[in-house]
Structures are given as structure tokens and as C-alpha cells.
Amino acid sequence: MVYIQCGTQWNKTCTSRGGAPGAGPVRTGGVCLLGGRVVSVKRLARVLKVVGFAGLFSSLALAQVFYLAKVPNSNPNTPTAINNLGEVVVNAGSSNALSVSLWNRVAGSQSLNVVGQNMVGSALNENGDVAGAGSETTSSQPQAFLWQSNNGTTHWLGTLGGPLSAAAGVNKSRQVVGTAYTAAGLPHAFLWTLAGGMQDLTPNLTSAGGAFATAINASGEVIGYYYPNGGSNVLGFIWTQAGGFVSFGNPGTLPFALNDAGTIVGQALTASGYRHAFSYTPAGGMVDLGTMGGSMSTALGINNNGWIVGTSLVNDGTGVLHGFLKLPSGGLQDFISLSKLASQKQPDSVQVNDFGDIAFSTKNLLTVLMPNVSETTVSSANPSKAGQAVTLTVTLSSIAGPPPDGEQLLVDLNGVQVGSGTIKNGVAKCQVTGLKTGTRTLTVIYNGDAYYFPFRYAFKQVVQ
């Protein structure tokens, strides 16, 4: 699974040449790559971004579906990405000294010690490798990089003959995609590999608008958007080793993410000129995902379970974007209704992993929504007799399913462990012994992991 960073704020300092009607200027990578405008290294953190159910399960609809985990020391409104290890890309520091780290709920923050200046991470794979853009030295132009997790090596990916490049996606095979300038001063989509270096995916493109690769999946399928030669509106594209470069969508289509099954999500113009989130497959074509009541929405991420995340305006007159989650069935669900997220926190970068963890940055900080685990506990005998062993059968569930098999539940009585059980298929059987007569308040404890928040639930056992 590949997770790329996509933003939702338009770069007002960058003008689009012949952009799609109503689409506004587009920005991507560590530099502004449209209209020939170059953004300084100091602004990498701001510009390393690509533009950016009705009804949950009835048992979860009235409960808090997600807990919020606030990521410390993260800069606001910066790119992020999340993988299936529960790791999140964190960009921090001042505008003149940006650095990249990884964070998860269990291990906390880990500095990557990336060799370079003003580094901004925007993509993350299942190995923990990070791709983005930065400067190799204090005097060099921003270029794409790949930090390799197994040996700590920083690879500078170079360009297509011009001065600038920026990475937008990376897969488990360490294939990196993004945008790089050619010697003619045009931004082109690229694919980079450890063995082959940088390959121009759009060598015949001569339009000033250029091309931008935004994501790559496990099979090496690349997506992005481009300005056709002689055309004034962007089109989406899919590139594969076997099939080459193929366009899809109507003018104004901006693909931002895809999963390993090949489902693509992004933003496209409707017939009435509004920008709406879409999903696309070759078999099913373009599907308008709608909005949460406002006029605009953007899909920014999709996982291998078909969960789609992004941003949408709502019908409240504020013009503030809200984060949304869309499950395979149902419509767009507001982050605010799914968690204790306060209103008016406009998400900028939004991504989701296969465990249902959602990472998003706002004007305040980087936050991760982690599935809330609910439980049902049944005793084998309640009331029981003094000295009798009882078995508590604890059934666990969440919007993303139960915690993984093999994890432990503990049973506590007044600070003393009196039982435990191992989770299998969402159920743990905990044998409890040594209970004295009376009504005993037992505490069922789950310590959590990198994906699920910990919990403590009270259960009353009557002992006669």
C-alpha cells in the first residue's frame, strides 16, 4: 500500500497556465512547478503538497468512533503520510531548518537523520522509507530524495536536466514518482528506481503546464495529471510498464492517490463546473463522490479496504474545509462527528492506512484518528461462588475491525492482575480466579498498539 501527501490549499503565489475552469492554480512538490515560478527552500514545508457514510454500524453510530492522538513537535499545515506499521511522517522545525521524523503511538518520535538541508517528507512506504524534497547542501536547489530505512542512506534522485525535482509517492519496492524539470525548463512526471535512476514518463510532452506524477502502487502503476500539448485543461493519466501512458477522465481531472487494486481517487470538475471528489476504475469509470453539503470536495487518500479520505466544504457559510471518511458503502462522514475533533480545524493533508488510522495536518498540528475499540463482556457464571474460577468472554470491535490476533487483555482487581486472555478473531477468553464474596468491580484492560487506542472497561462480578 502506498500513502502519498496531498493538500487542499491553493497556492495563491503560483499562477496556472490555462488551468481547468474553476480548478485554480495547482502546486506540487517542494517547488512551484506551474507557470515557471520557483519557490524558495524556505517555503518547502508549505508547498510540498499537491492540491488538494451515511450510517456507520448501528452499534458505533452513537459512540466515539475514533480517538485523537496529537503528534508532538509537528509543524502545522505540512505534508504527512501513514503506513501499515502505524508510522506517520512528521515535518518539524523552523522555515530555515526543516527536518523529517517518524512517529507512532507506541514508540513515539524517531529522527531520520536525513543527510541534507530543509528536508520535507511527503511519502512513506511499508518499509518505513521516506520520500520528499530538500536541498543536499545549503546552496543547492531543492531536489527529490529517498531515505532508505534499512541502512539510513539518503538518495538524491536528481532531475531530468533542469534544476528542480520533488517526490510525491513511493512503493515497497522503493520506486519513487514525482515531478522534475527538464533541460527545457518543463516539469515532467518521473519514475525513479535504485537500479535505473530517473525515467521521464512524459518525454514527448512540450506543453508549458507539464506533467505531475502523484502516486504509485505496489505493482508499479503510476498516476498523475498533465497538460496535453496544445491543450489548456489538465487530464488524468495512468502509466504502466506494459501499457505506457494512458489518459483518463474529463478535462479538469486531478488524480491524487490509488490503492493496490488500482482504484484511483482525486478531484474532478462536474458538468456544472464544481470540483468534486471522485473514484475511478477502468471497469467502473468515474464516480462522483459528492460533498458534505458544500460546493467542493477532494479525495486525497485511499487504502486497500476501499476507505477514502479527503476534505469537503459543508453548508455552513464559513468556507472552512472539513475532513471526511467514506467507507465502501455510504456517503461522506465528517471527522467532527466521528471523533472529538473540534470544529474549524481545516485539514490540509489527509491519509489513511489499512488499519483505519487517519493522519491529517491542520493549521494547529498533526493529528491521528485511531479506531476506538468497544467491548462486550460475558461471564461464565454471574453470580459465582467464592473460590470458583470464572471465564470472561470479551468480544472486541471497532470501525476497522478487532485488534490483531495474539494481543493480550488483562483483568485487574484493585490494582492486582487476576486474569488474562489472548485475542483471537476479536474474542479473548480471560480466566479469573481468587475472587472473594461480594460485588467485585473488575477492570478489563487493553494496552493498545500502534493502530488501536488502549482502553479500560469496568465489569461487575457478583461472588456469593
Q: Please, which pLDDT band fits residue 118 given cuts at 50, 70 and 90?
A: confident
Q: The C-alpha cell of 257 is what?
A: 492517490
CA distance to 90, 210, 316, 323, 447, per residue, from 26 (Å)? 23, 11, 26, 20, 43
Cα R_g (the chain), whole angstroms: 24
- Report the CATH architecture of 374-463: Sandwich (2.60)
Say whether pLDDT at 41 is over 60. Answer: no
User: Cα(9)–Cα(21) distance, rounded to whole angstroms?
Assistant: 17
pTM: 0.86
Q: Which of 210, 200, 155, 154 is nearest to 177 (CA)?
A: 200
Domain 3-371 has CATH 1.10.10.60: no
DSSP annotation of 43 = G
User: What confidence score (pLDDT) does residue 37 get?
Assistant: 30
User: What confidence score (pLDDT) does residue 64 get?
Assistant: 74
| Beta strand residue intervals within 108-173, DSSP E | 108-111, 117-124, 130-135, 143-148, 153-156, 161-170
- pLDDT tens digits for range 3-14: 333 333 323 222
Mean pLDDT of 181-197: 97
Mean pLDDT of 124-140: 93
Pair 446, 453: CB distance under 8 Å: no
Q: Which residue has the higher pLDDT, 457 or 59?
A: 457
Tell me which of 20-34, 117-131, 146-160, 294-308 is least confident.
20-34
CA distance to 98, 235, 394, 395, per residue, from 408 (Å)? 39, 50, 11, 13
Alpha helices in 70-184 (DSSP H): none
- pLDDT tens digits for range 221-251: 999 999 999 888 999 999 999 999 999 999 9
Place of cell 479500560: 456
Pair 9, 348: CB distance under 8 Å: yes
User: Cα(423)–Cα(408) distance, rounded to whole angstroms?
Assistant: 6
Say whether pLDDT at 97 is over 50. Answer: yes
If you average pLDDT over every residue of the chain, what do you get?
86
- The four Cα atoms 340, 343, 347, 351 give a dihedral, to 10 degrees, of 30
- The four Cα atoms 281, 86, 9, 233 give a dihedral, to 10 degrees, of -20
User: What confidence score (pLDDT) does residue 62 get?
Assistant: 36
Within this chain, domains 3-371 and 374-463 share the same CATH topology = no
Provide the residue ranges of all domains of the chain, joining segments of one domain with +.
3-371, 374-463
- pLDDT tens digits for range 384-430: 999 899 999 999 999 999 999 999 999 999 999 999 999 999 999 99
Sign of CA dihedral 214, 216, 220, 223: negative
Mean pLDDT of 295-321: 96
User: What confidence score (pLDDT) does residue 268 get?
Assistant: 98
Edge-first strand listing for the sheet containing 244-248: 211-216, 222-226, 235-240, 244-248
